[in-house]
Amino acid sequence: MRLSFILFFVFKLFTLSAQPDFRKTYFPLINKAELLFIEEKYTDASESYFKAFSQTKSPLVRDLLNATVCKLYQGDFEGAKLYLFKMAQRGVNLETLEQLEIFEIGNNQDAWKMFKPSYEQFYEPKELNDFLKYHFSNLSLLRSKLMDMLSENFILIENGADEQKFAIKRKDYSGFFSSISNEAKENIRVYTKAEMEKESIVIKINTEEIYHEAKEILLLIMENQMALSDGTSQVETFHTHDHDMFSFLNFFMFNKPQIIVENGKAVNKLADWMNEEEISYLDSRLQEAVSQGILSPQLAISQSSERDIPEKIRVTSFTLKIENNNNCNKEFDDLDNVKFLKKNTLTKDEQKEYNKIRQKYGLETLEDRFKKEEFAIDQNKYFILNTRSTLESSVVPNCEVAQNMIAGATIVHEK
């Protein structure tokens, strides 16, 4: 028996080592394709996508969509059909493609209408295995319980000046502070300070039990490869993903009460929920999923404990309006046709740390990331790049404030 186990372990180890590491093969080609697309070199970008897809039977759905967009920009709807068929087989429904409006490119709406019946024939709805169905159902129940529990939390009234009328339940907040009659307000229970403290202990215990059970389920299903796959989630921007491990992970993390440390900065919610060993396990599973080509580097890092520095990489595109523009320099004369792009630059230590993280998750270089962030702000409509950059419009009181805001920014004169 012991010999059989050893042989199985050695075989498993050999199999894993024989698999290609997508962080070194597939994703560099995807990165190259995305950069070529940004430069409007669509033919070259398509070639890079083709090379990447030739290395796997299951390209990521996001990459299939982007490759389709690339073909449409080339005016090659026939070439796009191959990727559309693959998306149909991977569970991307018709409504999603139409809501993304990609067939506006090159006026391909009529070609798409002709092709829709064929797409429907190849469409295969995404099906979860029984293991995930069972555990996702339990997570849904826990999510509902947590929402109910959160509504039972207390809100202080009148700053707690009267200990006999100290707090109400969160679920009664809108009713208590609205313009309802005094008679209706009397039906809302008001708790004394002692009552609130006593019941809060019970609520805290019940809430912690929910978090613990949710965590145990999430750690368990991470063993299942399908749970770690991003599936169609990155293209279904118009839908809620109730049956998605990452949506559950984000929900419980987002709603976990934060502990405020002495310097006034909240601790990492993931660290407040999972211990060091569990966090390390989560990170290792995410990295493994990327290396196996079932999860994109960008989505993996967004779920990991190492997300903080990569998520600082962004570009803000903003316009300015000055209320009092007296005595302004000429550079402010035509602000209506000027945009400012400003990078959220990293310190040298953060850059070094990013390079370490980049190797683990197969992320692009800082330079490449900033190119994508800048392109995504207002030049991109159809391509999915998982960027975090924002578009803003600001009104400032005078030229001095405006000058401080645009320090270090790139000026873009619109045509």
Least confident of 32-41, 197-206, 237-246: 237-246
Both 282 and 355 in one domain: the answer is: no
Q: Model pTM?
A: 0.83
Residue 260's pLDDT is: 56
Q: How far is CA 194 from CA 165, 169, 176, 197, 199, in A?
A: 11, 14, 20, 5, 9
CATH number at residue 110: 1.25.40
Distance from C-alpha of 123 to C-alpha of 109, rounded to nearest angstrom: 19
Both 229 and 328 in one domain: the answer is: no
Region 173-198: mean pLDDT is 70
For the purposes of burial, counting CB atoms within 10 Å of the CB of 64, is it exposed (0-12), middle (13-18) or buried (19 or more)?
buried
Q: Is 82 in contact with 49 (CB distance < 8 Å)?
A: no
Both 268 and 299 in one domain: the answer is: yes
Both 162 and 249 in one domain: the answer is: yes
Choose the final residue of a domain: 106, 122, 138.
122
Choose the final residue of a domain: 280, 303, 326.
303
SS (H, E, C) 2-45: HHHHHHHHHHHHHHHHHCCCCCCCHHHHHHHHHHHHHCCCHHHH
Distance from C-alpha of 314 to C-alpha of 228, rounded to nearest angstrom: 26
Instruction: With a cut of 50, say whether residue 4 has pLDDT above it.
Output: no
Question: Would you give the distance in Å from CA 303 to the centre of its chain?
Answer: 8
- Please state, for a pLDDT cut of 70, what percent of the chain lies above it: 85
Instruction: With a cut of 90, say whether residue 70 has pLDDT above it.
Output: yes
Between the two ends of the chain, the Cα-to-Cα distance in Å is: 75
Residue 194's pLDDT is: 82
Both 284 and 329 in one domain: the answer is: no
Give the best-scoring range by mean pLDDT among 186-195, 367-376, 388-397.
Answer: 367-376
Total domains, the chain: 3
Both 67 and 152 in one domain: the answer is: no
Q: At what angle do helices 193-221 and 276-291 cross, to 10 degrees?
A: 40
Instruction: With a cut of 70, say whether residue 286 has pLDDT above it.
Output: yes
Residue 169's pLDDT is: 80
216 — pLDDT class (breaks 50, 70, 90):
very high
Region 255-275: mean pLDDT is 69
Q: Which domain holds residue 100?
A: 2-122
Region 78-105: mean pLDDT is 93
Pairing of strands 338-343, 315-324: antiparallel
Both 406 and 285 in one domain: the answer is: no
261 — pLDDT class (breaks 50, 70, 90):
low
CA angle, residues 372, 36, 41, in degrees to nearest 5: 130
Least confident of 88-97, 194-203, 348-357: 194-203
What tens digit of pLDDT does each residue of 234-255 get? Answer: 787 544 555 688 889 988 988 8
Region 389-415: mean pLDDT is 80
Both 405 and 266 in one domain: the answer is: no
Both 294 and 319 in one domain: the answer is: no
Both 6 and 32 in one domain: the answer is: yes
Bridge partners (DSSP) of residue 413 are 338
Mean pLDDT in the chain?
A: 84
Both 14 and 48 in one domain: the answer is: yes
Choose the final residue of a domain: 101, 122, 143.
122
Both 315 and 281 in one domain: the answer is: no
Give the best-scoring range by mean pLDDT among 2-6, 46-50, 238-242, 316-320.
Answer: 46-50
